[in-house]
């Protein structure tokens, strides 16, 4: 998943040397790259690169003759993309961006290359996954997961259960971020999924005050969250479904609870002004294909945005994906607009609260 945007990092990245371009493109200057039939695509690395290479990169190269050079992105993408557009020094041509965390800011600043996408042109794709300059290709969810060796078949089934330390004693872990965590606090306090926004911030922090003494780990990365639940360092956790599934696949007795999950859509955006924009647009459109997205799910436990992809996904695999109908109906998409308007002040308050 793309990491959440932190405006404070912008200053650090504005002056970055963009040395990664030479490392991944054989030191070709921008002018030469504009003529070369290749694009540089940024993704979160690890299993993402493996999955995207199989589903998108290699098939696109074969279909078009345009080489895809993939870069494992270490820094969060919004600040880096913004710096590229402002300096016109392009390290990559396409990157993964999330709808709730990244797109509102980039839209507002005009930092995304227009692609001309219309939801009506892609009726088989979730309408939320198509904007004029971004295409969502996979869906992940923040879910509750717990250890079955601790609770058996009678584990927590909601955020109210997670907050109930008497009925469900054990070590807990939450994400060290207000995003998703505030929603979970309100759901635990009785707010329904369809009534979350605008978030009642004061009520959310009162709810968080109740659970704070019982949280053993405030995780900051997906790898840390997976390790915590896989190793049994905690008995229940708020985590990304792909990380919980990876723990299950490794043999850990972990159960995923889809009820009251918060799903996010991740997909491709293009930094405005890249000299390889035409080839980048071809790549983005290529990734809308149902067959391509079905291949993605073989190695990533994330759901396709193209609903036709499910016809090519085995039933057992489809059942563990966020966009399976039985899973999706119990979740909701966080409000991109609310978080764009409130992220900075809420993050400051959360950071102060967490160390108090």
**Whether 3 contacts 42, CB under 8 Å:** no
Question: Residue 324: pLDDT above 50?
Answer: yes
Give the rounded percent of residues in the chain with a pLDDT score beyond 70.
Answer: 89
Cα 129 to Cα 119: distance, rounded to the nearest angstrom: 8
**Residue 105 — very low, low, confident or very high, per pLDDT cuts 50/70/90?**
confident
Q: Is 250 helix (H, G, I), strand (E, B) or coil?
A: coil
Looking at residues 179-204, what average pLDDT do you find? Answer: 97
Q: Is 255 helix (H, G, I), strand (E, B) or coil?
A: strand
Q: What is the pLDDT of residues 255-268, one digit of tens each?
A: 999 999 999 999 99
Q: Residues 187-203, buried b or exposed e (16+ Cβ, 10 A)?
A: bbbebeeeebeebbbee
**Whether 191 contacts 160, CB under 8 Å:** no
- Where do runs of H (alpha helix) occur along 141-221? 148-151, 159-163, 178-188, 201-211
Query: Phi-psi bin for 123: left (phi > 0), alpha (psi -120 to 50), beta?
Result: alpha
Looking at residues 90-106, what average pLDDT do you find? Answer: 92
Domains and CATH numbers, the chain: 7-137+266-325 (3.40.190.10), 140-263+336-355 (3.40.190.10)
Q: What is the pLDDT of residue 1?
A: 55
Cα 69 to Cα 184: distance, rounded to the nearest angstrom: 38
Specify the DSSP class assigned to residue 4: P
Report CA-CA distances (Å) from 294 to 95, 178, 291: 20, 32, 5
Angle at 309 between CA 134 and CA 102, to 5 degrees: 25
Cα 228 to Cα 237: distance, rounded to the nearest angstrom: 8
Cα 157 to Cα 29: distance, rounded to the nearest angstrom: 55
Question: Residue 107: pLDDT above 50?
Answer: yes
Q: If residue 265 lies in a helix (H) or strand (E), which one and from where to where?
A: strand 254-269
Q: What is the pLDDT of residue 17?
A: 39
**Whether 31 contacts 75, CB under 8 Å:** no
Cα 128 to Cα 148: distance, rounded to the nearest angstrom: 34
Cα 198 to Cα 182: distance, rounded to the nearest angstrom: 11
Least confident of 32-36, 103-107, 119-123: 32-36
Looking at residues 154-161, what average pLDDT do you find? Answer: 97
Q: What is the pLDDT of residues 204-221, one digit of tens each?
A: 999 999 999 999 999 998
pTM given for the model: 0.81
């Amino acid at each position: 998943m793309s990491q959440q945007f932190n405006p404070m990092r912008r200053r650090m990245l504005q002056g970055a040397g963009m040395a990664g371009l030479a490392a991944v493109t054989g030191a070709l200057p921008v002018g030469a790259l504009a003529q070369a039939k290749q694009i540089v695509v940024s993704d979160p690395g690890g299993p993402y690169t493996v999955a995207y290479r199989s589903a998108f990169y290699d098939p696109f190269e074969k279909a078009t003759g345009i080489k895809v050079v993939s870069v494992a992105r270490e820094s969060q993408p919004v600040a880096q993309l913004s710096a590229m557009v402002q300096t016109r020094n392009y390290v990559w041509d396409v990157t993964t961006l999330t709808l709730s965390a990244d797109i509102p800011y980039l839209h507002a600043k005009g930092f995304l290359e227009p692609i001309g996408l219309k939801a009506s042109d892609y009726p088989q794709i979730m309408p939320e996954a198509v904007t004029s300059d971004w295409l969502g290709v996979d869906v992940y969810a923040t879910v509750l997961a717990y250890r079955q060796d601790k609770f058996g078949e009678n584990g927590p089934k909601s955020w109210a259960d997670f907050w109930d330390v008497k009925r469900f004693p054990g070590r807990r872990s939450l994400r060290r971020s207000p995003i998703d965590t505030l929603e979970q606090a309100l759901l635990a306090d009785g707010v329904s999924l369809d009534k979350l926004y605008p978030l009642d911030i004061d009520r959310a922090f009162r709810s968080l005050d109740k659970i704070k003494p019982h949280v053993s780990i405030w995780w900051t990365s997906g790898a840390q969250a997976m390790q915590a639940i896989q190793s049994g360092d905690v008995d229940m956790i708020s985590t990304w479904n792909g990380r919980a599934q990876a723990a299950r696949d490794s043999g850990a007795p972990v159960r995923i609870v889809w009820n009251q999950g918060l799903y996010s859509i991740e997909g491709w955006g293009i930094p405005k002004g890249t000299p390889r924009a035409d080839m980048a647009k071809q790549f983005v459109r290529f990734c809308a294909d149902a067959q391509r997205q079905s291949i993605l799910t073989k190695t990533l436990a994330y759901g396709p945005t193209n609903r036709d992809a499910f016809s090519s996904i085995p039933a057992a695999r489809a059942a563990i994906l966020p966009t399976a109908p039985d899973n999706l109906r119990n979740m909701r998409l966080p409000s991109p607009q609310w978080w764009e308007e409130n992220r900075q002040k809420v993050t400051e308050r959360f950071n102060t609260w967490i160390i108090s």
